[in-house]
Structure 1
Amino acid sequence: MTADLRDRLLGAIAAPGTGTSDSDLNDDRRPAGGVLRQAGVLAAFDAETGALWLTKRASHLSQHPGQIAFPGGRMDAGDADITATALREAHEEIALPPDALEVLGTLPAHVTVTGYVMTPVIALVTAPFRPVPEPGEVAEVFRVPFARVADPAGFDIQARQWRGVERRYYTVPVGPHYVWGATARVLRGLAERLAR
C-alpha cells in the first residue's frame, strides 16, 4: 500500500484549497485582535496498512479532556518550525520516533475556537514502533483504518452546547471512539482532498 498511499496523500496535500476552522459550520468568527497560538499536530499513517494513529486525551486535562486528537501541541520557542513541533509532540505523547517517519507535507492550518492555529503535518510511519502513551496527557493510543477517515460521506454533522451557545461540528465514529471538533474537521478536509 505504501506507494499508492503516498501518492494519494501527496495529491491531497497539493490540492488547492484554504484552511479550515471550528467556525466553518457556525456563524461566529474569532474577534479581530484575538491572539492565536501556533500548534502542530501529526497525522501519521501506517505505511503498510494506511491506518491513522490517534490519541484519546487524558480526562484531567484543562483543555479538550477525553477528546480524540492527533498527537501534537503548542509550538515551543525552540522548535525550528511547525513540523518540528508536531514531531516533538508525537515523540513526547506517544513515543513515536521522528526517524520512524517520512514527512510528506502539511495541510492548510485549522483555526480552533479555543485560540489555536493548528497545522496538520502529514507523515507515513515507515518503521515499527510501540506506542507508549504519556500518562500526563494521553489516556489511549489507537489506530483507525484509512477507509474510515478517507471518505467524506462517512462524516456527519451534529450540535452541542458550548459555553451557552449551540455549536455545530463534524463527527465520525471510529470503533468505540467518537471523533468530533477540530480533529474531525481536519479529517473531513483531508477526506475532501483525497476524494478529488
Structure 2
Amino acid sequence: MRDWLDRALAPGNSAARGLRGDGDLDRSDPVAVSALAGKPLRPAAVLIPIIERSEPTVLLTKRHGGLRAHGGQVSFPGGRIDDTDAGPLAAALRETQEEVGIGPHYVDVRGHLDTYCTVTGFQISPFVGIVQDGFHLVRAEDEVDEIFEVPLAHLLDPRNHQRQSAEFRGRTRHFYVIPHEKHYIWGATAGMIVNLADLMRATADTKDPAAFLKRSLAG
C-alpha cells in the first residue's frame, strides 16, 4: 500500500498538483467560490489517517454540534494553522493528537493531496499518513462528538461517490456525498476523498476498483 500511495502522491504526478475545492462540480474556480464566505481564506490543515489493519480503514471524526465552523459534520482530524506551528504538516499532526489522541510517532506521512478551498473560507492542506495500530484514542470532548473508521476500499470505490446539490446563499451548489452505515460524509471531506481516489486509480494498473483494491491494499 505504501508504494501505491507514493506513486499516487508523487510530485511529478500531473493529476496531483492542482487546486481543488467546493467549486469542482460547478466547474467554477475554487478560490472564487470560496469568496462567497466574504472574507480572506484561512489556512488550515488536516490529516487523512489510513489505519494499518488487515483491511485498511480511514479514521474520521464527527465534529461537536456546538462548533461554529462545520459543527456536526464528518471531518478528518485537523484545523486552523496557528502562528506557533512550523507549517501545515505540523498543524495537521498537532490537531490530530489534540482531537483524537494519536501522536506523531504513530503516523508515517506519505505525501499530500491538492490544496482544497471551501465555500466557508478555508484553504486546506490535506496530508495522507499511514497510522500503525496500537494507538489509544483520546477524544477531545469539546471538539469531537464521535471517532469512527470506514474501510478504505469503501471510500475509494467510485460507485460510492454520489453527487448531490443544495442552495447556498442564493446559488445551487453541487457536492460529493459518501454514505457509510449511519454516517453521511459530504462536502470538503468527501471532496478530498474523491481526490485521493482519483489519484490512486490513475496510478493503478487496472481500472476495475474491486481488482486493484483487493490486490494493492494487501501490499
Moved over 4 A (4+): 31-34
Question: How many angstroms apart in 1 are the aligned matches of 2:137 and 2:57?
Answer: 14
Q: Equivalents in 1 of 2:150, 2:3: separation in Å?
A: 20
Once the two structures are superposed, residues 8-64 of structure 1 have per-residue CA deviations (whole angstroms, 9 ceiling, x without a partner) of 211221232212110111265244995211111000101233200000001111111
Q: 2:45 is matched by which residue type in structure 1?
A: G
Question: 1:8 corresponds to which residue?
Answer: 4
Q: Is the 8 A contact 1:106 1:119 kept in 2?
A: yes
CA distance in 1, matches of 2:145, 2:9: 30
Q: Which amino acid aligns with 2:58?
A: L
SS in 2 for 1:25: helix
Bigger helix share: 2
Task: Work out whether 1:111 is the aligned partner of 2:109.
Answer: no
Instruction: Please list every run of 5 or more consecutive structure 1 residues that lacks an aligned counterpart in the other structure.
Output: none
Identity score, percent:
38
Q: How does 1:21-60 map to 2 (within 5 A)?
A: 21-26=21-26, 29-30=32-33, 31=35, 35-48=40-53, 49-60=55-66
Return the alpha-carbon distance in structure 1 between the equivalents of residues 189 and 42 of structure 2.
17
5+ residue gaps, structure 2, are 203-219
Q: 2:70 aligned with 1:74, yes or no?
A: no
The structural deviation recorded for 1:187 is 0.3
Q: TM-score with structure 2 length normalisation?
A: 0.83
| CA radius of gyration, larger in | 2
CA contact (8 A) 1:46 1:52 kept: yes
CA contact (8 A) 2:6 2:110 kept: yes
9-18 or 108-117: which moved more? 9-18
- Offset of 1:127 from its aligned partner? 4.0
Q: Which residue of the partner structure matches residue 135 of structure 2?
A: 129
